[in-house]
Structure 1
Amino acid sequence: SRAGLFPPLRDMTVRMIQRGEHPILPPFEDVTLGPGDVIIVAATRQTLTEALKSGSRIFEGMLEERFAEGVEAGNGPAKPGGELILAEAVVAPGSRMIGQTIEQISFRHHTGCIVLGIQRRSRMIRTLLNDIRLEAGDVLLILGKGNQVQDLRNNRDVLLLEWSATELPDPKLAHRALAIFGIMVATVLGGILPIEVAAVAAAGAIIATGVLNVRQAARAVDRRIFLMVGAMLGVAAALEATGGANAIANASVALFSGYSVAVVLSAFFFTVAVTTNVLTNNATAVLFTPIAISTATQLGVDPFIFVYAVIFAANCSFATPMGYQTNLLVMGPGHYEFRDFVRAGSPLVILLWLAYSFFAPWYYGL
């Protein structure tokens, strides 16, 4: 290197060089690259594309090794010839890849594509690629043949940022789904079936009529939400059983003693809105519902007034990345930082809080 720069890696920032078991960190004064060195670089997609098109020798070893592995496994071409495409994909919130490394999920074996880099929350990672455990919202820089990259459109574990156009669903299937949903609602409103029985029956009918297959239906279920909501139900039940909900309600009422119900409702809405950006909307709704009922009972008003406040406030989850799944999903591709969500989301939360604080008392006659 010259003054810590590597001429073959033009417009790229070298973050680390792994030489055997010994990492070399910057500054790279008088460091000479040798065969077998693993280089971790930070670069734009355009820079990498130009390096690949120019036939830069720095990539030859990696590409030959990765694509050779594909031949042994029965995937991929024998050499990195042909039309290779660079694409970006985001790890989906419900992906099976979360918590695992690229090597553990055998990404190349299953897709025929190789992962060149990972970006997490707009920050480059200074770690060996195969040692990084994936998180929801990670952006993967993927290299593969055109048809292999296009096939990622049907992969539910990642969301392709390009080649993501999909065919329109069959209208007949849409009509079937709508009919099944209508029948489910009618049976529940008519008191024919309990809602849980009707929902399970509708799900079975969706599969039986071919709208979805079993695998598609199973993939649509985020098991973590069930675990989280189940755990929060336990917490909510404990609050009720131990009198914790009443204690919190009494403290809230005492804190705002002398104020009108409208003021208490406004403060309660604001508290839930702040909490939902730290937890998730599902967990917040389950946690605050018993507190809402107890608070309304203490004030002598209809409990539904405070329960509705929970429903609206729990969905004000756009002031932090962890508030809602889609927030995290767009964080990497959009190159957003935590403060961007706070800056854009906080005014929206305050606006909705003020709107509810003025509208709800008028609507409920408080």
Structure 2
Amino acid sequence: MQMKWLGYRRNSNNIFSNQKMKQNKFFLPVFLFLQFLIIFGAFGLGYVFANRNPLSIGNSSAVDLPILNETYQILQQSGLYEVAPDMKLEYGMIRGMVQAYGDPYTAHIEPVQNELQSDQLAGSYGGIGAMIEQRDDGFFYLIPYPDSPASKEGIAEHDRLLTIDGVSITNFSDVSAIATAIRGEVGTRVSISVLKSPDYVDETTYRIKREEVPLPSLLAYQDDQHPEIGIITLHIIADSSAEEIEKAITELQEKGADRFVIDLRNNGGGLLDAGIELAELFLTKNQIIIAQQAKGEEEKITKTTRNGAFNDLPIILVVNENTASAAEIFAGA
């Protein structure tokens, strides 16, 4: 019994060993082939990732930005989170580039802010005529201008904004994004849902027709204690600023003002042509307003073409360290 058992055990081992040898002979080339596929595949994927969406600036190739590209590829291949869309990455890189440039007066303006600023520089926009206010509670509230499309349709002061064209207000990042969504082409309509103040219980939806809404670039008034002094605070140098300031001075003169203070503090500028037009109102003919010289070009001098309507008006200009661009040119002229 023992001999048979030992013999069976020995034979069993031999059979197992023989089968293993046969299997090894069969699997060895397969194993080597799989290894080849893995190595080749890894090389191929590395090549694909290394050449996927190469970053470049202007006419520069990706090779010119090796550290930036390496960081980008690491984020794509090994980052814990999904890489942001290309446009968002580009804006992030642009912000960093402009900041590293080190000029406080050079800035990149993204599309939403650019649209709002363009409206402000134009002096008007297509909209419903309401200011948007975000309070400490995190909600957004509407404050309609008098006689605006919003007030005519029934929007009341401090109605709480819920949706714009059916899109929840929570989908918008900030006040600028909300304002851009509400604005649009004159004559079109926008659907606004609000909770009515002061109880914020009743939800009401309005379909408001957009109209051209003026955006004044200045504030004009007489000094309380010295009504002979007219004060004009100019917030921005917009396309309509020259016309606005001419109208404001004329109206203040009719009320008794005969000398003026033009406040340009914290005015970051605006349109160069509008600044030149403003300066012409207060200068005589053939005076230099600005001399410009771009890199590699001849100097360009801009002079007044006529006597300004207020060239003999007593005025004081007030500026500070934040007066810049077209406002600074206006003040300097």
TM-score for both structures, normalised by structure 1: 0.26
The structure with more radius of gyration: 2
Higher RCO (C-alpha 8 Å, min separation 6): 1
Which structure: greater strand fraction?
A: 2
Which structure: greater helix fraction?
A: 1
